[in-house]
Amino acid sequence: MYGVLALKSNIMTDDLNQHIKWFENYSERFSQGSVEDRKNVAIKKDHSLRVLDNAIKISASLKLDGVLAQLTHLAALFHDVGRFPQYERFRTFNDRNSANHAALSVDVLRTTDALTTLRPEHRRLVLGAIFLHNRQFIPAGLPFALDRMTRIVRDADKLDIFPVLISYFLPDSPVNGVVTLNLKPHPTAYTEEIFQSVRTGRIGKYEAMVWINDLKLLVCSWVYDLNFAVSREIVLQAGYLDTIFRSLPSSPEFIALREQLKRELTKGSDAPDSDL
């Protein structure tokens, strides 16, 4: 699974593999309780490892070598490490009903030995990218390295959440309220505020969601927040939007919205950036 980690330019490959082992050992501590509990912990463990792979792909497409790429990979690996104590304490992944999982992730990394091998300035970058990865918007004026790392982690995160959530949107999908945030199921019901947000080019608001169709629309709105051409290309080629819209109302308004979002995915390419 991790053959992609053996990048010739990645002088910290062995160190990254050690961090992966640390992450797996840490997450294993929470793999207990009911079958459902263990399954939910596994969902977040597997998600984090796939986000790492996505971050490596994005970094490679940007020709991002050296320390900046390596720190980005660590931020991707650990971006959701706070999900484990969150679930143990609250039995939910809904931040609104528990705690900010990005802040929890930072707390875990600050109170364990996970990042002790890093230089202090590098540790701050990793923690900063993790802390910012779930913000609705990236703050303006960030230093280049922190901004670049945060954007890669955000894209890598979304690229994995698309198929994970889609697997719960299909007609014969398993029911898991933890994953779908306990939103109400209904074949056609949706919140007009969410629809209008997406139609006008904005990201939907989590606090406005009532129906599972609202979550589908919010996930679709993420195309406005993809930062790199490679990310948009992956979403377009995978057909994620078409799959989601097949489970939404087939009215002219929804058909037009689907085409609008697909056009958003055809934006231009990125220029490579310099290293840290």
- What is the model's pLDDT at position 273? 53
Instruction: Reduce the DSSP state of residue 52 to 3 states and report it.
Output: helix
Instruction: List the structure tokens of 275.
Output: 């290293």
Tens of pLDDT, residues 124-157? 999 999 999 999 889 999 999 999 999 999 999 9
For 236-251, what is the mean pLDDT?
Answer: 95
> 75 pLDDT exceeds 80?
yes
> 2 pLDDT exceeds 90?
no
Give the residue, 136 or 104, on which the prediction is more confident: 104
For 247-251, what is the mean pLDDT?
Answer: 95
Instruction: List the structure tokens of 240.
Output: 């994620």
What are the structural domains of the chain? 3-158 (1.10.3210.10), 161-264 (no CATH)
Write the CB contacts of 225 (distance below 8 Å, at least 6 apart in sequence): 154, 158, 203
Place of tokens 């062995």: 14
Closest to 16 (Cα-Cα) out of 146, 130, 132, 114: 114
Give the residue, 8 or 261, on which the prediction is more confident: 261
For 100-127, what is the mean pLDDT?
Answer: 97
For 252-269, what is the mean pLDDT?
Answer: 91
Q: Are 204 and 197 in contact (CB under 8 A)?
A: yes
Q: How far is Cα of residue 200 from the mean position of the Cα atoms in its chain?
A: 23
Proportion of the chain above pLDDT 90, given as a percent: 83
